[in-house]
Amino acid sequence: MMRNHGGFEGNGQTFRIVTKLEPYTAEHGMNLSRRTLLGLIKYPNYLPQLNQPPQGQESVPHREVKASLWHPPKGLYECDQASFEWLLEGFSSQDTQRFMQFNSNGKNHYKTLYKSFDCSIMELADDIAYAIHDLEDAIVMGIVNQSQFNQEVADPLLKLDIDWMNQNIVALSEKLFSQHHHERKDAIGALVNCFITNIEIIEIAAEFEDDLLKYNAVFPAHFHQALGIFKAYVFNRVIRKPEIQMLEYKGQQIVMELFQAFASDPQRLLPDNTCQRWLEANDAGNGHRVIADYISGMTDGFASKLYGSLFLPSSGIVGEKIGS
């Protein structure tokens, strides 16, 4: 819905939330330090620079949208350029230019090449949470079973010949699928600890002058492969499960319908404070960004309730009056 209005991307929205939208200050969001913000920037360039639209993405009816064709580039919004430039003021112009470099594999969007030291730590934490803690949730909900786990995770891990995994993965498999809560927690904690304690700090680009850009936290190759096995298992057995994809599809439809409704008549439908922001942004030619901010800030429950109010048949006094 934002493809012609500056784009939308999760990490870019995070940067916008903490630098502008959170009402802790009048104009600067949470007023965080430069280093804190640097740790949040996963893709340090702007969406229009990174966009490489695939063919066949003309506008189609909502229910015919094929999600796999609509992956956005990953980066920041140009309307937040002032905040990003302020963030980079402490670096030399050479470091800034190098930090914003990107490349392409010739098929997909351009992709930035570098992350800061703090961001590399955050990325590893994010990957561990996705691979290990999401696995725990799937086990508790009964989405996966031990036989699958042994075949698709434990056996491939043994082939990597990592000493700790060789010694512990069989016992951990038993604990992960134990009926006792404390045993599952013990196994999850052991896996998380294994990955954390094997992180290394390496120099990724000697050309950088600033150590915050020169060094990254990384996994050794075998541990990177090991976490990849866990991530692939969660993706294939949980995320791609048809029941989960149906929920995701429903959410996509709700978001698109809400966006279309608010964009069609913002002064009529937006709340007063959001409408005032829209009026100011619209004068600057950026009204759709405010609508994106509003919808992306909704909880699932609020968005579903709002969708029901706007699009589903009503009942009761109001419905009777309209019908009469």
Q: Could you give the CA distance from residue 123 to residue 133 in angstroms, rounded to a whole number?
A: 15
With bands split at pLDDT 50, 70 and 90, how would you rate the model's confidence at 320? very low
DSSP label at 90?
G
Q: How far is CA 167 from CA 54, 152, 255, 292, in A?
A: 47, 18, 47, 49
Region of 6 please: left (phi>0), alpha (psi -120 to 50) or beta.
left
pLDDT per residue over 111-154, tens digit each?
999 999 999 999 999 999 999 988 998 999 899 999 999 999 99
With bands split at pLDDT 50, 70 and 90, how would you rate the model's confidence at 275? very high
Q: The whole model's pTM is what?
A: 0.88
DSSP label at 64?
G
pLDDT per residue over 216-271, tens digit each?
999 999 999 999 999 999 999 999 999 989 999 999 999 999 999 999 999 999 99
Chain-centroid distance, C-alpha 58: 25
What's the length of the chain? Answer: 324
Mean pLDDT, range 14-24, rounded to an integer: 96
On average, the pLDDT of the chain sits at 92
- Tokens standing for residue 159: 């082939």
Selection from 281, 140, 310, 126 nearest residue 217 by Cα: 126
Residue 253 carries which side chain, given as an amino acid letter?
Q
What was the pLDDT predicted at 258?
97
Q: What number of other Cβ atoms are within 10 A of residue 80's Cβ?
A: 19
What was the pLDDT predicted at 106?
67
pLDDT per residue over 32-91, tens digit each?
999 999 999 999 999 999 987 655 556 677 777 788 888 889 999 999 999 999 999 999
